[in-house]
């Protein structure tokens, strides 16, 4: 049987919608689907909003097309099917001395999703986005996989292109050398906003990320923990066991007093003088994957994530954005501050050189209104909203933030004249509509 | 060290089996009809650490494809493992409207694999070591109104494996009969409400444990052992009126 009725939701679970789902296991099945019923491809649905939704329509689940097609052990050039999970690639290749060039916050993201969202990681300031390392990719057509030439308009419209040029079947990308499968992390307690920005500016580590206490106000505004890390080898990582969130948590779990208390304790966990620890590589890159289905902690109404980036010169505006969040008392403990480099590979890629802030909000009263204010603030600061996280933005806001949208639209219309790959997100943001 | 010949290498469970074998550092030779798909899985296994990742043509309904497989097996210098995942399951309604389909079902699930295993048996006896894994089904434990043609072919395969175990055990070759329940595969995708639906990786984990511990017959997941014990115990005069 080819199609199954399913309720789809993104990782935030605030938006949901029914769809008919196919899950091909062979390239030939995916090719046949393209001639019969072309539909958007989805992966592990780790985007937060409605990017993986096609309510009332069809979608193709790519997760069973997840094989390594070729690997050159001399050069580290790897070719995989689009459904391959980044965390699984870490598991296979880190012991051999190779690491995916860019790792987002979850190892459950697929390579196809990493390309379609042009994801970034803790090394963005040096390495750029995932798409920067893609040497070749193929889109599935009714006649089989078709190679997309590196640097072509179609290539740049596919990377960060939300799947609108058709299902990505495979990709070839460059792995990076690593000494082993552990990581050496230096953690430093940061007292406030200005200190955080100077530390981020001064950091020359390969991997740098800041956890920020988005509930702290006044003098403590912007306090957090800076993590700087390098890969290493020769050390045995401690044994570990995954946990699972079995049910939707009750509402008070992430209520403001609980979050404030948790954040304060989490911040004090790192000694005043800082510390250096050795971690298994996936614990550093994917800390939340250890708790399966952690999104259920937000209860059945789900949550939203707001992530924006602003230019370097607009650090002050980002401070005001954080202050607005802190005043609202609506934030969850999950908040990240990072300095980004200029690297991006697609017309619709998110990054720009500057500072990015990501904060989770339980989906309760006040959250949506706050997020739309934050979006206005980000637009005013010449910043950008990350579509992998967005569930609420308005079409004109996004248009103003993505100056290459016109180039993208031209290539997408050529690749998908029938608009077969539209999703709830592209319809909500009218991304495929008139320029 | 074992090199596995995986018959029906394009099936969902076979792919998971091949990957697990690769993780264990064992070689795989995948046999089936879709050459492109087999090549992709073979490459995947090689990248994951299999010392050998190859593919070879097998059509359970075409015995001419059996000879080259037996010949290839003869050139394996490691211990030989044969894992049979070949099978097909048209719905009972399709079969009811076209009884000619029964021939194909029997060829895919029983006569094809049995004939191929028979061609391989002397080689295994000669080596005096090795493993045969035959994947049957809980559907083979009892003929039910909803699925009895498929069930009967699997039932025949179970009996064949039992006899083969009896024969090969004398020369140190172990035969495992695997009876999976419902598994989350391309075959079951889209079927309504399947009980105890298991991921293919769970089935494969149980298969390797059984092979390592030299178990004869296993149900996987284990819940199917009590379930089928009850179903087999129902008297025929009651069972004939049931539709489970």
The Cα A9–Cα A13 span in angstroms is 5
Q: How many residues does chain B have?
A: 244
Question: For position A237, what pLDDT does the model report?
Answer: 61
* Tally of structural domains, chain B: 1
Measured distance CA(A227)–CA(A129) in Å, rounded: 19
Residue range of the domain that includes B35: 2-239
Residue B149 lies in a domain: yes
Count CA atoms within 13 Å of residue A36 on its CB side. 12
Query: CA-CA distance, B211 to B133, in Å (whole number)?
Result: 8
Using the predicted structure, report yes or no on whether residue A243 has a pLDDT greater than 80.
no
pLDDT attached to residue A242: 67
Kindly state whether A28 is in contact with chain B, defined as any CB-CB distance less than 8 angstroms: yes
Question: For position A160, what pLDDT does the model report?
Answer: 98
User: Is B229 contained in some domain?
Assistant: yes
The answer to whether the CB atoms of B12 and A2 lie below 8 A apart is no
What residues of A are in contact with residue B12 (Cβ under 8 Å)? 25, 64
Structure tokens at A81: 């099917």
Contact residues on chain B for A22, CB-CB shorter than 8 A? 189
The candidate with the shortest Cα–Cα distance to B91, out of B192, B21, B237, is B192
What is the C-alpha separation between A231 and A179, in angstroms, rounded? Answer: 6
Place of tokens 């179970």: B158
3-class DSSP assignment, residue A44 = coil
Closest among A152, A153, A154, A148 to A172, alpha carbons compared: A148
Geometric angle at alpha carbon A243, from A242 and A247, rounded to 5°: 150
Residue recorded with tokens 């803790």: A122
Question: What is the distance between the alpha carbons of residues A143 and A155, in angstroms, rounded to a whole number?
Answer: 19
Q: Return the pLDDT at A338.
A: 97
**With contact defined as beta carbons under 8 Å apart, do A434 and A60 qualify?**
no
How many Å lie between the alpha carbon of A380 and the closest alpha carbon of chain B? 48
A224-232, strands of its sheet edge to edge: A275-280, A182-190, A224-232, A207-212, A335-340, A354-362, A303-311, A384-385
Distance from CA of B192 to the nearest CA of A (A): 9
Would residue B244 count as lying in a domain?
no
How much is the average pLDDT of B68-93? 96
In a domain, B9, yes or no: yes
Q: Chain A partners of B186 at a C-beta cutoff of 8 Å?
A: 23-25, 29, 64
Q: Is the ipTM of this complex over 0.85?
A: yes
What integer is the mean pLDDT of B110-123?
98
Nearest-10 Cα torsion for A79, A84, A87, A88: -80
- The pLDDT value recorded for residue B193 is 80
**Interface size between A and B, measured as CB pairs under 8 A:** 46
Instruction: Write the CA distances from A281 to A94, A158, A370, B15, integer angstroms.
Output: 8, 29, 35, 27
Q: What is the pLDDT of residue A246?
A: 82
| pLDDT tens-digit series, residues A191-226 | 999 999 999 999 999 999 999 999 999 999 999 999
DSSP string covering A217-258, please? -GGGTT-EEEEEEEEE-S-PPPP---EE--SPPPGGGG-HHH
Residues 6+ apart with CB under 8 A from A202: none
Chain B residues with CB under 8 Å of A4 CB are: 189-190
Among the partner-chain residues B12, B44, B47, the one whose CB lies closest to the CB of A25 is: B12
Residue B64 inside a domain? The answer is yes
Query: Which among B22, B43, B44 is the top mutation candidate for probing chain A, defined by the most A β-carbons within 10 Å of its own β-carbon?
Result: B44
| DSSP summary character for residue A314 | G
Contact status of B177 with chain A (Cβ, < 8 Å): no
Residue B19 near residue B148, CB atoms below 8 Å: no
pLDDT for residue A53: 98
| Rounded CA separation B30/B53 (Å) | 8
pLDDT digits (tens, 9 = 90+) for B174-226: 999 999 999 999 989 988 888 899 999 999 999 999 999 999 999 999 999 99
Q: Is the distance from CB of A130 to CB of A102 less than 8 angstroms?
A: yes
A2, A29, A59, A67: best mutation site toward chain B, by most B Cβ within 10 Å? A67
Q: For residues B12 and B185, is the Cβ–Cβ distance under 8 A?
A: yes
- Cβ of B12 within 8 Å of Cβ of A68? The answer is no
The single-letter DSSP state of residue A125 is: H
Is the pLDDT assigned to residue A233 strictly greater than 80? no
Q: With contact defined as beta carbons under 8 Å apart, do A211 and A190 qualify?
A: no
pLDDT in tens, A61-118: 999 999 999 999 999 999 999 999 999 999 999 989 999 999 999 999 999 999 999 9
Contacts of A198 (CB under 8 A, 6+ apart): none
- Do residues A65 and A83 make contact, with C-beta atoms less than 8 angstroms apart? yes
Q: Which residues contact B2 (CB under 8 A, 6 or more apart)?
A: B21, B26, B27, B78, B79, B80, B81, B130, B131
pLDDT digits (tens, 9 = 90+) for A278-312: 998 989 999 888 888 889 888 889 999 999 999 99
Determine how β-strand A182-190 pairs with β-strand A224-232.
Answer: antiparallel
Closest approach of A416 to chain B, Cα-based (Å): 27
pLDDT: is A300 or A350 the higher one?
A: A350
B12–A70 C-beta distance less than 8 A: no
A275: which residues sit within 8 A by CB, 6+ positions away? A186, A187
In this prediction, residues A166-187 reach a mean pLDDT of 94
Q: CA dist A375 to A41, A81, A214, A319, A369, Å? A: 28, 35, 17, 14, 10
Share of chain A above pLDDT 70, in %: 97
- For A10, phi then psi, to 5°, come to -80, -175
What distance in Å separates residue B36's CA from the closest CA in chain A? 8
Task: Say what the pLDDT of residue A70 is.
Answer: 97
**What does the pLDDT read at residue A249?**
85
Q: What mean pLDDT do residues B161-172 have?
A: 98
Partners of B189 on chain A (C-beta within 8 Å) are: 1-2, 4, 22-23
Residue pair B19/B48 in contact (Cβ under 8 Å)? The answer is: yes
The pLDDT assigned to A435 comes to 66
Max distance between CA atoms of chain A, in angstroms, equals 62
Q: Which tens digit of pLDDT belongs to each residue from B123-154?
A: 999 999 999 999 999 999 999 999 999 999 99
CATH of the domain at B204: 3.40.50.720
For residues A318 and A311, give the distance between their C-alpha atoms in angstroms, rounded to a whole number: 9
pLDDT at A290: 82
User: Looking at residue A332, what is its pLDDT?
Assistant: 87
Question: What pLDDT is attached to residue A236?
Answer: 64
Structure confidence at residue A244 (pLDDT): 82
A28/chain B closest Cα distance in angstroms: 8
Q: What number of other Cβ atoms are within 10 A of residue B145's Cβ?
A: 11
- pLDDT for A239 beyond 70: no
Write out pLDDT tens, residues A352-361. 999 999 999 9
**pLDDT bucket at B78, cuts 50 / 70 / 90:** very high
């Amino acid at each position: 049987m080819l199609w199954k009725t399913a309720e789809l939701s993104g990782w935030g679970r605030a938006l949901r919608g029914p769809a008919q789902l196919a899950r091909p296991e062979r390239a030939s099945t995916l090719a046949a689907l393209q001639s019969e019923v072309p539909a958007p491809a989805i992966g592990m649905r780790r985007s937060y909003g409605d990017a993986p939704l096609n309510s009332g329509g069809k979608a193709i689940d790519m997760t069973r097309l997840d094989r390594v097609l070729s690997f050159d052990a001399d050069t580290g050039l790897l070719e995989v099917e689009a459904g391959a999970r980044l965390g699984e690639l870490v598991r296979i290749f880190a012991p051999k001395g190779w690491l995916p060039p860019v790792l987002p916050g979850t190892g459950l993201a697929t390579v196809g999703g990493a390309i379609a969202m042009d994801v970034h990681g803790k090394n963005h300031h040096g390495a750029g986005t995932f798409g920067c390392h893609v040497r070749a990719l193929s889109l599935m057509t009714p006649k089989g996989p078709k190679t997309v030439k590196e640097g072509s308009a179609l290539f740049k419209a596919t990377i960060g292109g939300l799947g609108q040029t058709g299902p990505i079947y495979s990709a070839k990308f460059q792995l990076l050398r690593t000494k082993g499968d552990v990581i050496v992390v230096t953690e430093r307690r940061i007292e406030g906003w200005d200190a955080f920005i100077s530390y981020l500016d001064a950091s020359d580590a390969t991997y740098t990320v800041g956890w920020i206490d988005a509930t702290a106000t006044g003098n403590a505004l912007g306090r957090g923990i800076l993590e700087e890390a390098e890969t290493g080898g020769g050390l045995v990582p401690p044994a570990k066991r995954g946990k699972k969130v079995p049910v939707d948590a009750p509402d008070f779990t992430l209520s403001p007093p609980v979050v404030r208390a948790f954040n304060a304790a989490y911040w004090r966990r790192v000694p005043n003088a800082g510390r250096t620890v050795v971690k298994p590589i996936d614990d550093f890159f994917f800390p939340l994957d250890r708790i399966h289905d952690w999104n259920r902690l937000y209860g059945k109404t789900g949550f939203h994530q707001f992530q924006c980036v602003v230019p370097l010169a607009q650090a002050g505006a980002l401070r005001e954005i954080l202050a607005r969040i802190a005043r609202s008392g609506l934030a969850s403990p999950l908040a990240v501050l990072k300095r980004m480099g200029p690297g991006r590979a697609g017309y619709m890629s998110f990054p720009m050189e500057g500072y990015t802030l990501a904060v989770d909000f339980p989906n309760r009263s006040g959250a949506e209104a706050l997020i739309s204010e934050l979006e206005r603030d980000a637009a005013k600061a010449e910043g950008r909203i990350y579509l992998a996280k967005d569930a609420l933005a308005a079409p004109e806001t996004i248009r103003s933030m993505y100056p290459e949208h016109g180039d993208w639209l031209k290539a997408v219309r050529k690749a998908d004249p029938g608009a077969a790959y539209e999703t709830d997100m592209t319809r909500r943001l009218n991304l495929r509509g008139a320029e | 060290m074992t090199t596995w010949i995986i018959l029906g290498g394009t099936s969902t469970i076979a792919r998971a089996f091949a990957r697990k074998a690769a993780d264990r550092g064992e070689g795989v030779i995948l046999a089936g009809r879709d050459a492109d798909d087999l090549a992709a899985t073979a490459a995947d296994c090689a990248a994951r650490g299999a010392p050998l990742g190859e593919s070879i043509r097998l059509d359970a309904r075409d015995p001419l494809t059996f000879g080259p497989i037996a010949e290839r097996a003869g050139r394996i210098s490691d211990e030989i493992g044969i894992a049979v995942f070949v099978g097909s399951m048209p719905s009972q309604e399709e079969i009811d409207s076209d009884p000619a389909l029964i021939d194909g079902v029997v060829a895919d699930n029983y006569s094809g694999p049995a004939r191929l295993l028979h061609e391989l048996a002397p080689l295994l006896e000669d080596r005096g070591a090795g493993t045969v894994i035959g994947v049957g089904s809980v559907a083979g434990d009892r003929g039910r109104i909803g699925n009895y043609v498929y069930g009967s072919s699997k039932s025949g395969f179970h009996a064949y494996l039992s006899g083969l175990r009896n024969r090969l055990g004398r020369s140190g070759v172990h035969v495992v009969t695997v009876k999976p329940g419902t598994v989350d595969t391309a075959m079951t995708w889209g079927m309504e409400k399947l009980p105890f639906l298991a991921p293919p990786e769970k089935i494969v984990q149980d298969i390797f444990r059984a092979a390592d511990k030299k178990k004869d017959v296993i149900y996987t997941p284990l819940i199917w052992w009590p379930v089928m014990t009850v179903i087999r115990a129902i008297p025929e005069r009651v069972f004939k009126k049931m539709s489970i």
